[in-house]
Structure formats: structure tokens, C-alpha cells
């Protein structure tokens, strides 16, 4: 098992949901970058559970202890290690279902892959809890990038059948980009948010769950970062996004919809802006052409599946006896993962961009 990522800024995530703690080591860091730990904590709070009816009641302060790589509020350039100690774990919620794999979760595949040696408590290393250290790394990356004029944000685009408007893909401002992150529920439009919450509540009351989509963007990224083929910026962002449990799909710019357009509709015509810079009139390419940034806002959308653990009874099989069984998952699970995954998606995008910044700045 290996949970490492990166070309220049390499991150390694460790820990299990109900073990002693979880954390991240960031290797290849720039030196002399100021990190505001209160701002980092505020970012972490956006992911933490226990925020409302849509979120699990499990209380996790998610306060990272920075063990190395930071001195007097600045990065030293040495590997930055952060630890979050686990608290409020209820492993007995899981021991009763040790041999009953949850449909939609990693229980069955992990059992086969690791021959039963994996930590099964609370989903172990497969748990959504491992996105907390990802947010530590992403929160740090966001602060460094912002100081250098690169801003990263995200919002909840849909829950079930309820949608809100997309970002402005051309003249996206930092205010619009960062707006949802300042709201208790991470949307741009309050009314759409109210209807999304209703959708989540409806799923919860019937013991079910619901999925959603997240739109993330970055502005201030100059043209010319990346490589073609396997080193493309899309590849690098996508590999981090798929490191987030429950992400099922990703689109850049106009994404899958491009298949229905003509070239004349999908192509983004080049123009020179009022400052003499080359840009495009539209942004269907989502800021990336040939794996290389164009200087236009980077636009990424991901789909988040409905929470696998649901109270509603489902069919499963006892992995010891191979007998058919029924499973209703008790415990504290979000009826919708997507709202809490919004800062996680921001974190993933920021980590990818910090790695690119170190390589191409």
C-alpha cells in the first residue's frame, strides 16, 4: 500500500480512521513561506464533520499538530510533517459487520487485496477521514499560492437533481471564487443551497444517501505550465482528485459535453485583452490545452457518489461463510459526502498547482 503523490512537492498521507492518528508529510517544500495556522484551522473546519443535519455527528476537531518544517510561522524547506490525533472513535460500530462488506465501500476489495490484514475499523486507510491530512497539505498549498497571486476555490454545484449556476469561466474573480468557502453551506446561491439541503434531508429520513457534483477553479495560473501526454496538467489534477474517496468522475472545462458540439462551437477563439495579453474569448478548454496551462481560469468538475454506508437494508455476502446476508449500516455517516468534500477538492487542486508552481515558476 502506498499513499504518496507529487513530482517536486511530494505528499505522503498516513494513518487509519480509528488508529492513533492520521497525518501528512510534505516533502520538497519551498522555504520562507509564511503559514497562518489560524487560517489553516479555519480551512480544516470546513471539512470537519458535525456541521449540520447533512453531516455525521462524529466530532473531530481535526487540529493538526505541525511536527516539523515550520519555524516562527515560516516554512523552513525541510519536510513538513503534520499529525492529527484520532478521538471519538466507535470501533464497535464496525466489529459487528467485520465479515459483511458494505455495498459501494472498499471492504470487499480491501479484504481480497490485503488478505484480511488491513485495518477494518472505521474503513481504516480507506476512510473519508484520510481527507483531513489532505486538507492540511492543501490548506498550506492554498496559502502559498495565494501569496503569489494564484487563488483556488470550489463550490457545491449539485446535490441529486438540484443544481446551482456554474462559475463565470472567463472573468472569474477571487471574490466569486472564494465566496462559497465563506458560507456555512458551500454554495454561491442561498436558495439553491436550501433546496439541496432538502434533498439531503429527504434521503436521510428514508435511511438513504445522495450524491453531488463539485466545481473547482483556479485563477492566476500563468500560461505554459505542464507537459503533453502523461505529464499533462489534467493528468496531475485527476490523479489527486481520484485519491479522494468517493470521487467517480472528472471533467475539465466543457468536459463530457464537448462530444455533442461542433469544433466551431467548442473552440475558444484567441484574442488580445486590454493589457495586450493573449487569452481566449470563451473557456471551454478549462484553462488547459495539450496538457499545458493557457492562462485562462482552470475549471474542474468532479462527481461524488452517494455515501455507501446507508441504514436502508441491502444484500451482501458473509465473506467467511459465503452465505447471503442482509446489511443495514448503523453508525454515524453523512447522508451526502459532497458538501464536506468541497474543501477537499480545493485542497487537491491546490496541491497539484503547488507542485506545478515549484516545477515551472
Q: Return residues touching ligand FMN (CB under 6 A).
A: 56, 105-106, 123, 126-128, 131, 244-246, 305, 307-309, 333-334, 337, 340-341, 344
Nearest residue (beta carbon) to ligand FMN? 128
How far is CA 157 from its chain centroid?
Answer: 14
Q: How far is the CB of 241 from ligand FMN (least distance, A)?
A: 11
Q: Which is nearer to ligand FMN, 133 or 297 (CB)?
A: 133
Q: How far is the CB of 334 from ligand FMN (least distance, A)?
A: 5
Q: How far is the CB of 336 from ligand FMN (least distance, A)?
A: 10
Q: How far is the CB of 309 from ligand FMN (least distance, A)?
A: 3
* Contact assessment for residue 4 and residue 10, using Cβ atoms and an 8 Å cutoff: yes
Size (the chain), residues: 361
* Half-sphere exposure (Cβ direction) of 307: Cα atoms closer than 13 Å: 29
Q: Which is nearer to ligand FMN, 60 or 251 (CB)?
A: 60
Q: Which residues contact 232 (CB under 8 A, 6 or more apart)?
A: 226, 288, 290, 291, 292
Q: Which is nearer to ligand FMN, 29 or 132 (CB)?
A: 132
Residue 307 DSSP class:
P
Q: Which is nearer to ligand FMN, 299 or 304 (CB)?
A: 304
Q: How far is the CB of 314 from ligand FMN (least distance, A)?
A: 12
Q: Which is nearer to ligand FMN, 226 or 245 (CB)?
A: 245
Q: How far is the CB of 109 from ligand FMN (least distance, A)?
A: 8
Whole-angstrom distance, CA of residue 109 vs CA of residue 114: 9
Place of cell 513538513: 80
Q: Which residues contact 307 (CB under 8 A, 6 or more apart)?
A: 209, 246, 333, 334, 335, 336, 337
Structure-block grid coordinates of residue 121: 475499523
Compute and round to an integer the Cα radius of gyration of the chain. Answer: 21
Q: Which is nearer to ligand FMN, 25 or 246 (CB)?
A: 246
Amino acid at each position: 500500500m502506498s499513499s504518496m503523490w507529487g513530482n517536486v512537492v511530494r505528499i505522503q498521507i498516513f494513518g487509519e480512521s480509528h488508529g492513533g492518528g492520521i497525518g501528512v508529510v510534505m516533502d520538497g517544500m519551498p522555504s520562507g513561506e509564511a503559514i497562518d495556522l489560524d487560517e489553516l484551522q479555519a480551512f480544516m473546519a470546513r471539512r470537519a464533520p458535525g456541521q449540520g443535519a447533512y453531516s455525521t455527528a462524529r466530532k473531530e476537531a481535526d487540529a493538526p499538530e505541525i511536527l516539523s518544517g515550520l519555524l516562527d510561522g515560516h516554512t523552513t524547506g525541510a519536510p513538513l510533517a503534520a499529525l492529527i490525533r484520532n478521538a471519538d472513535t466507535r470501533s464497535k460500530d464496525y466489529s459487528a459487520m467485520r465479515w459483511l462488506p458494505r455495498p459501494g465501500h472498499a471492504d470487499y476489495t480491501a479484504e481480497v487485496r490485503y488478505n484480511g490484514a488491513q485495518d477494518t475499523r472505521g474503513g481504516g486507510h480507506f476512510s473519508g477521514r484520510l481527507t483531513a491530512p489532505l486538507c492540511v497539505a492543501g490548506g498550506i498549498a492554498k496559502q502559498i499560492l495565494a501569496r503569489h497571486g494564484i487563488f483556488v476555490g470550489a463550490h457545491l454545484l449539485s446535490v441529486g437533481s438540484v443544481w446551482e449556476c456554474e462559475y463565470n469561466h472567463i472573468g472569474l474573480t477571487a471574490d466569486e471564487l472564494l465566496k462559497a468557502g465563506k458560507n456555512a453551506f458551500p454554495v454561491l446561491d442561498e436558495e439553491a443551497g436550501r433546496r439541496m439541503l432538502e434533498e439531503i434531508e429527504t434521503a436521510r429520513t428514508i435511511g438513504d444517501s445522495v450524491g453531488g457534483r463539485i466545481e473547482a477553479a483556479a485563477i492566476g495560473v500563468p500560461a505554459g505550465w505542464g507537459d503533453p501526454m502523461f505529464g499533462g496538467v489534467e493528468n496531475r489534477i485527476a490523479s489527486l482528485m481520484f485519491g479522494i474517496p468517493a470521487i467517480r468522475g472528472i471533467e475539465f472545462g466543457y468536459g463530457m459535453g464537448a462530444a455533442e458540439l461542433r469544433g466551431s462551437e467548442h473552440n475558444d477563439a484567441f484574442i488580445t485583452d486590454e493589457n495586450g495579453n493573449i487569452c481566449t474569448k470563451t473557456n471551454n478548454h478549462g484553462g488547459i490545452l495539450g496538457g499545458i496551462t493557457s492562462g485562462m481560469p482552470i475549471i474542474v468538475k468532479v462527481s461524488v457518489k452517494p455515501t455507501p454506508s446507508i441504514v436502508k437494508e441491502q444484500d451482501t455476502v458473509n465473506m467467511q461463510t459465503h452465505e447471503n446476508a442482509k446489511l443495514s449500516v448503523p453508525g454515524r455517516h453523512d447522508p451526502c459526502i459532497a458538501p464536506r468534500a468541497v474543501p477537499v477538492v480545493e485542497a487537491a487542486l491546490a496541491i497539484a498547482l503547488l507542485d506545478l508552481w515549484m516545477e515551472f515558476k
